[in-house]
Structure 1
Amino acid sequence: MKQGRAEAYYRTEHADGRPILTSGDVDSFIDDLLGGSDSENMAELHSLDRPLLASGFPDHEFLVGVDKELQVGVLSFMDETGNLVSLGDTEGRGSVSYFIVENGTEFPDRSEIPISLVRQAVKEFLTSGGQRPTFIQWQEPEIW
């Protein structure tokens, strides 16, 4: 199993230096998100194992959101193939918003999945070198 690395941004203080995550950090990372405020309940991850675009920016983005009250979360993966969000297998609660440092992103109905699957997806993202996790279902968001 590959020990991938990713930069994370989910707290105000990360503007001055983003923490680096490995697969061994995933549980504490998710626990930190769960323990944070509702205005900082989502993270933006960029794999350090993928090449940068000619512009110097990452060629992808992986968003990871958590809801501590309901113990569910959302995922979004964007790269050159398009934008996808997680697809839960139960009826959702309508569109929901998650926040990176008070900046909200709205997710479509049925995008929330159990926290255990969020943890597993982040581990797969890291160990695959920054690829979209394959064991969950994905949907194309109509609102993006």
Structure 2
Amino acid sequence: MIAFSVEFSLQAGNDQGPIIAHTSAEVDAAFARILAAAPLLHNPTAHVRERPRFGPAQIPDHGLKMDVSPQFGVGALAYFGDPENEQSGPWVTKSGAQTTSAPLLHRDIDSATPFPVDAAISLDLIRQALHEFHSSGGRRPPSVAWQASASW
């Protein structure tokens, strides 16, 4: 079995990434840091370091981006990649039902690009998806529902 490492990019105040997670416990610790930094308005991204990169800038061939609201206990994920799958994305999470109590979550905070209103899922599901992303080597996590998206 191949051991994968996830690199989380965190740009939030004094807690600048990257955070490298090799183990399940380190993925949990990275997620705890992401939740703690949530009020600083950032979009953490993650990629598996062992996966291919392309172009002169060596951009990963996949990625997972998130926005979280610890206050409301929800977050949303955006995914691209999985080039071996004809449905490589981009994708965003899809909740079972739209809720009016969920906060506005952003796919890109800097440009104020929101996630769809039905993208908010529980933080427990976000954590589970991060573990699946890690253990699968950067594949789209199967524990959450996804909907096709026009952009990552």
TM-score by length of 2: 0.78
1:59 aligns with 2:61: yes
Secondary structure of 1:134 counterpart: coil
By relative contact order (CA 8 Å, sep 6+), the higher-ranking structure is 1
Q: How far apart, CA to CA, are the structure 2 residues paired with 1:105 and 1:7? A: 24
Q: Give the deviation of 1:140 after TM superposition.
A: 1.6
Hey, what does 2:5 align to over in structure 1?
A: 5
- Kindly tell me: are residues 8 and 110 of structure 1, through their superposed partners in 2, closer, same or farther at Cα, counting changes over 3 Å? same
Secondary structure of 1:42 counterpart: coil
Letter in 2 for 1:30: F
1:92 aligns with 2:99: yes
Residue pair 1:107, 1:141 contacting (<8 A) in 2 also:
no
Q: Give the deviation of 1:113 after TM superposition.
A: 0.6
Residue pair 1:44, 1:63 contacting (<8 A) in 2 also:
yes
Residue pair 2:92, 2:146 contacting (<8 A) in 1 also:
yes
Hey, what does 1:47 align to over in structure 2?
A: 48
Identity among equivalent positions (%) equals: 27
- The residue correspondences of 1:17-56 to structure 2 (distance < 5 A) are 18-22=18-22, 23-55=24-56, 56=58
Q: How far apart, CA to CA, are the structure 1 residues paired with 2:106 and 2:33? A: 15
Letter in 1 for 2:40: S
Q: How far apart, CA to CA, are the structure 1 residues paired with 2:134 and 2:140? A: 10
Q: Give the deviation of 1:18 after TM superposition.
A: 1.7
Moved more, 103-112 or 1-10: 1-10
Residue pair 2:76, 2:105 contacting (<8 A) in 1 also:
no
Q: How far apart, CA to CA, are the structure 1 residues paired with 2:96 and 2:142? A: 15
Provide structure 2 residue ranges, at least 5 long, that are not aligned to the other structure. Answer: none
Provide structure 1 residue ranges, at least 5 long, that are not aligned to the other structure. Answer: none
Moved more, 2-11 or 86-95: 86-95
Q: How far apart, CA to CA, are the structure 1 residues paired with 2:41 and 2:10? A: 6
Q: How far apart, CA to CA, are the structure 1 residues paired with 2:18 and 2:90? A: 24
Q: How far apart, CA to CA, are the structure 2 residues paired with 1:66 and 1:47? A: 20
Secondary structure of 1:90 counterpart: coil
Q: Which of 121, 126, 129 does residue 137 from structure 2 map onto?
A: 129
TM-score by length of 1: 0.82
Q: Give the deviation of 1:2 after TM superposition.
A: 5.1
